[in-house]
């Protein structure tokens, strides 16, 4: 286990047990499935516990198991370190609290606890409530540009992983994310993936022509402006 040594309370392995929180009436909500999360009331404040699950064609075979390739390279520790670095740079990410892995032979499972972004909605929820407009698109474009200017390659940039809270935007879920020194291909791939996700969740009624005109154009305008400023 690793944890933030500056916390007012020291996390223990019990913190990664949903039933332990439930027994203390401190489990707010829990969801299963890939990326299943539990919202917790902890001694250090509201937090989110995520158990790592596989996606894609490997999910039915291994579910939440990953091949062991060294202590420092497990998914939870890697994301914990990356979030700590990004938070230190002032980027809007959930602060890491603790991470742990359990090794079983050639495989391991992993968990991560981060600070919760209170009263947040995903961009998907905003889109589905018909509140995604050009002004918000510009905010999103500027958000993505800040991370790209810092060399952050988000492996799964989509509408579910952008949170809106109190007029601000946050980027979450940095599993398999990494810091890059240079390059443009990965940035373009991030943007293309994000655009596909907007269409998939129903932005502009899945109409790409309308999306380009009403959302993507102002988004990219803000993206390019912010990228130039941050550079």
Pairwise CA distance, residues 86 & 109, whole Å: 24
Three-state SS letters, 18-73: HHHHHHCCCEEEECCCCCCEEEEEECCEEEEEEECCCCHHHHHHHCCCEECCCHHH
Pairwise CA distance, residues 140 & 146, whole Å: 10
Pairwise CA distance, residues 39 & 32, whole Å: 12
Is 156 known to be catalytic? yes
Q: Which of 156, 173, 175, 207 is catalytic?
A: 156
Maximum Cα–Cα distance across the chain: 53
**Cβ 173 vs Cβ 114: under 8 Å:** no
Which active-site residues does the annotation give? 156
């Amino acid at each position: 286990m690793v944890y933030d040594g500056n916390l007012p309370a020291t996390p223990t392995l019990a913190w990664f047990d949903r039933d332990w929180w439930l027994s203390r009436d401190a489990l707010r909500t829990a969801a299963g499935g890939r990326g299943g999360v539990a919202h917790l009331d902890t001694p250090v404040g509201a937090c989110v516990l995520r158990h790592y699950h596989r996606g894609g064609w490997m999910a039915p075979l291994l579910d939440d198991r990953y091949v062991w390739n060294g202590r420092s390279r497990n998914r939870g520790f890697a994301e914990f370190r990356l979030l700590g670095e990004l938070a230190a740079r002032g980027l809007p990410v959930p602060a890491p609290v603790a991470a742990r892995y359990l090794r079983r032979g050639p495989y391991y499972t992993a968990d991560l606890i981060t600070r919760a972004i209170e009263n947040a909605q995903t961009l998907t929820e905003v889109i589905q409530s018909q509140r995604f407009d050009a002004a918000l698109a510009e905010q999103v474009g500027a958000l993505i540009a800040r991370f790209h200017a810092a060399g952050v390659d988000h492996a799964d940039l989509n509408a579910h992983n952008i949170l809106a809270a109190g007029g601000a935007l946050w980027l979450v879920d940095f599993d398999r994310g990494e810091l890059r020194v240079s390059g443009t291909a990965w940035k373009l791939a991030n943007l293309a993936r994000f655009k596909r996700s907007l269409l998939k969740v129903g932005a502009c009624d899945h109409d790409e022509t309308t999306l380009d005109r009403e959302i993507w154009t102002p988004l990219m305008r803000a993206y390019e402006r912010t990228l130039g400023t941050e550079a």
